[in-house]
Amino acid sequence: MLRAAALMAVAPAPAMAQAPSIADLQRQIDELKAVIAEMKAARTAVAAAPSPPVASPVAPAPTPAQVAQVSVPAPATPPKKEAWYDRLTLRGYTQLRFSEFLSGDRTAPAGVSRLRSVHDSGIGDGTNLTLRRVRLVLQGDISDDVSLYLQPDFATNVSNQTAGERREGFGQLRDAYVDAFLDDAHRFRLRFGQSKVPYGWENMQSSSNRLTLDRSDAINSAVPGERDLGIVAYYTPTRVDRVWKRLADDGQKLFGNYGAFALALYNGQGINRTETNDSLMTVAMATWPFELDALGDGFAGQVLEVGAAGLRNRINPELGSGGTSDVSFADERFGIHAILYPQPLGFQAEWNWGRGPEYDRAQGRIVTGPLNGGYVQSMLRLPGSKLMPYGRWQHYRGGWKALPDAPRLETDEFEIGLEWQPVPPLELTVAFARMHRLEADPDREGRAEGNLIRTQLQWNY
């Protein structure tokens, strides 16, 4: 080859072409040698592979211009094994509130009810901005059949620091449970730990997802704080799960997948309270979403969800004089719910009846008394709109077992509001409330009334 190149170098050049120099020819020879070396290396790697060789036609040697396109495949890297903590997620939300009296009983003489709410300490005399909730949620699947959920709240208050003065911003455990799935489709699961009690549709719904600022007195009186320590069995049929997922993808405010059917056993004393008797609270719930497409074009995509729940318990209320009652009181109730998801107009209603502990002023002690109450709500959800108006009326007569001496509540309230979500992380709610309430204090009597403007800014993260 070198000899031929030498002859070409001394041969006379054509009239219209110039012979390449010795340096050009040497460069081309070096490039061809490099290509041949790379092809030999690739052929050696193929021959070393465990699969049998496959005969193929010999490709022509590439030209120098094709050298840059020749590459040797890198050895495959084994996939990294996913650790259990890689499956966990951290999220949360914070709610900042401000309530202002337009008129009414902001203050009252001793022994007379002031306008107060068991749900919002920001409704009072001399109050201003308050943090209603500061939540962090750690959750995820630690295996294919086990998941965990942990949620503290950093907006809890502690009283009796100096002459009854409160301190804000303490952390408190809300949820701490693990789910064990009993089938591959994850339709059956057992939940162990502190979690929500499956009683009341809006009790189960997250506060971050609820349209109204607070839960209703009547439904929430069954489980103030919504949680207790126990064991729950949930079952969600595939058909129900499909409907709920469709509604969630559509942006509807669901109560969360707590099963279409639930059976539960809890301590029964309430959230973060020590058990004081040997009895268990038993709870059962059923809820079912019905697709209404068969009723005609006007009901296309519409879903009506109905259900019921029952609760049976015995509880030892806390005493205003200190400690808990030596007597355990019957705490039993039955409730129903119905939700027509807004498309664009929706309705929601719950009601419950039963009996439970309440303070009797005439006898000066806690007794077992009847209770009943609920709410009716309407809401409008316009396609493509970031605004969602609502209106709700609520009524309740009965005890509030979570406070010392289980004071009686007598509540009638009407609220209209508007939720605005300019961007997904931010939600602003403004509401007007007309309230008639018996203050949750055994030493005060008579109902207070008033008109308030209430606002809440929520940011999700």
Question: How would you write the pLDDT of the chain (461 residues) with one tens digit per residue?
Answer: 434 444 344 444 444 445 567 777 777 778 777 778 777 777 766 556 555 554 445 555 555 555 445 555 666 677 777 777 788 999 999 999 999 999 999 999 999 999 999 999 999 998 999 999 999 999 999 999 999 999 999 999 887 655 567 788 899 999 999 999 999 999 999 999 999 999 999 999 999 999 999 999 999 999 999 999 999 999 999 999 999 999 999 999 998 878 999 999 999 999 999 999 999 999 999 999 999 999 988 898 999 999 999 999 999 999 999 999 999 999 999 999 999 999 999 999 999 999 999 999 999 999 999 999 999 999 999 888 899 999 999 999 999 999 999 999 999 999 999 999 999 999 999 999 999 999 999 999 999 999 999 999 999 99
pTM of the model: 0.81
The closest alpha carbon to 359, from 444, 276, 274, belongs to 444
CA distance 339 to 459: 26
Q: What is the pLDDT of residue 2?
A: 39
Q: Helices 22-48 & 2-10, crossing angle to 10 degrees?
A: 160
Q: What is the pLDDT of residue 86?
A: 85
Q: What is the pLDDT of residue 62?
A: 54
Q: What is the pLDDT of residue 100?
A: 96
The closest alpha carbon to 113, from 123, 125, 105, belongs to 105
The residues near 204 (Cβ < 8 Å, ≥ 6 apart) are 196, 198, 226, 255, 256, 258
The closest alpha carbon to 392, from 225, 210, 222, belongs to 210
Cβ 389 vs Cβ 382: under 8 Å? no
The number of residues in the chain equals 461
Cβ 261 vs Cβ 234: under 8 Å? yes
Q: What is the pLDDT of residue 96?
A: 98
Q: What is the pLDDT of residue 178?
A: 98
